[in-house]
Amino acid sequence: MKRLILVICAMLTLLSTNTTAKTLVVYYSYTGNCREIVNTLTSQIETDVLEILPTEKELQYEANNYALGTQLLNAIKANPNDASSYPAIDPVTKSPADYQNIIIVTPLWWSQMAAITQTYLFQNASMMAGKHVGMIVSSHSSGISGVVSDAERLLPNVTWMGEALWINASNHGNRASLIENWIKTLNFDNENTTMDKMYITIDGQTQSATLVDNTATRELVAALQNAPITVTLNDNQFEIWGPLGKSLTTENEQMNTTAGDIVLYNGSNICIFYASNSWSYTRLGKIDGLSESELRTFLKAGESNITVMLSLTSGTTAIRSVNGNRMEDGAYYSLNGMKVSNPSKGIYIQNGKKVIL
Ligand SMILES: Cc1cc2nc3c(=O)[nH]c(=O)nc-3n(C[C@H](O)[C@H](O)[C@H](O)COP(=O)(O)O)c2cc1C
């Protein structure tokens, strides 16, 4: 009987874990447009929803020609790394750490991200590191490049799922089809419970690898969600290998490795192959799409003390969206997304980053 109860409890735990959505929609809405966008979005995909609420409830951000909104944004701009620059928000009940994907839905204020949304991202950036993140921005008419750079500043370690979606007063009524098409363009996986991409950076070059799903890779991904791992590896005729700095659960089996394979050896060493070997390892994954000779060059075959960084972001997947179009490399854009051919002194967006001339 005791056994039966234990089995039922275990089944219930499993069921409740599996019903958690893989995607969290985080939004702030002052006048209701972002709330409508979230309602439309959640009618199309299964998500959990978290509304961010300012601690001070009766504030009129638009009063006196938007003076308060401006004041809050200026305080952030003056000291963006200081927690006290951000307006207080209510405590939240859901943690981004529990989700694979996060979609931010935010209003634009003065061509920047609304101050209240900025508070949430500032406070939760470390828990969002390594997550797959998308963003929808609602404005009256201004372009959203300033909001995109705020997002990139606040969340430097996330993987952007694609370009941000801009919804404005003239297309808000059309949001159902805009959102549906946007989701199709995203690298969006709402089904799998595991993250299957890891990035390997050696000497400034980054390559993606596809991870297999086992206990070791889940532990590795959990560690990488906190921070990238840097290891020093050495050549061993068919691989580069060395200590990972942590032990992972082994599921060793005899295998014939081939070029690109990544395995765990003896529970706490990582081996990346540019040729083959036969041994008992726990498989972790494989580097995507490189030939054997490309792998030898990338892995610095034959060298010693090779610095290898493992991470969940490629570092090159910035969101680059201005008025729905890609920014041209090197060109200057105003904060509301207009291309500027001969910029004078001022603040511009260049290559997705804010620059001051
Ligand atoms: C303080 C403040 C500043 C704003 N600044 C701009 C702006 O610079 N350009 C613009 O097009 N809309 C601006 N808006 C309008 C909002 O971006 C727009 O109404 C948005 O849809 C609001 O989303 P919400 O209804 O979810 O709060 C501003 C609104 C507020 C409250």
Atom of ligand 1 nearest to the CA of 108: 17
- For ligand 1, say whether the CB of 65 is within 6 Å of any of its atoms: no
Name the β-bridge partners of 243.
Answer: 269
Calpha distance 321→338 (Å, rounded): 12
Buried b (16+ CB within 10 A) or exposed e, 183-209: beebebbeeeeebebbbbbbeeeebeb
**pLDDT computed for residue 196 by the predictor:** 76
Nearest residue by C-alpha to atom 16 in ligand 1 = 139
Query: In the numeric block, which tokens belong to residue 246?
Result: 């942590």
pLDDT of residue 192: 54
Does the Cβ of 30 fall within 6 Å of ligand 1? yes
pLDDT at 329: 66
- Residue 145 three-state SS: helix
pLDDT truncated to tens, each residue of the chain (357 aa)?
Answer: 555 554 444 444 433 333 456 899 999 999 999 999 999 999 999 899 999 999 999 899 988 888 999 999 999 999 999 999 999 999 999 989 888 899 999 999 999 999 999 999 999 998 888 788 999 999 999 999 999 999 999 998 888 888 999 999 999 999 999 999 999 888 777 765 456 788 899 998 888 898 888 889 988 988 887 788 999 999 999 999 999 999 999 999 999 999 999 999 999 999 999 999 999 999 999 998 889 999 999 999 999 999 999 987 765 333 433 333 345 567 776 444 455 666 665 555 666 555 556
Give CA–CA dist 264/331, Å, rounded.
45
Instruction: Calculate how far, in angstroms, residue 6's C-alpha sits from the geometric centre of ligand 1.
Output: 53
- 334 within ligand 1 shell (Cβ under 6 A): no
pLDDT of residue 355: 59
Burial of residue 11 (CB within 10 Å: 0-12, 13-18, 19+) is: exposed
User: Probe ligand 1: pick from 106, 135, 140, 166, max atoms within 8 Å of CB?
Assistant: 140
Residue 351: DSSP 8-state: T
Domains and CATH numbers, the chain: 20-192 (3.40.50.360), 197-311 (2.40.100.20), 327-357 (no CATH)
What pTM did the predictor assign?
A: 0.59
Q: Is 66 in the pocket of ligand 1 (CB under 6 A)?
A: yes
Q: How far is the CA of 108 from the centre of ligand 1 (A)?
A: 5
pLDDT at residue 222, as a whole number: 80
3-state secondary structure of 233: strand
Tokens of 47: 């998500």
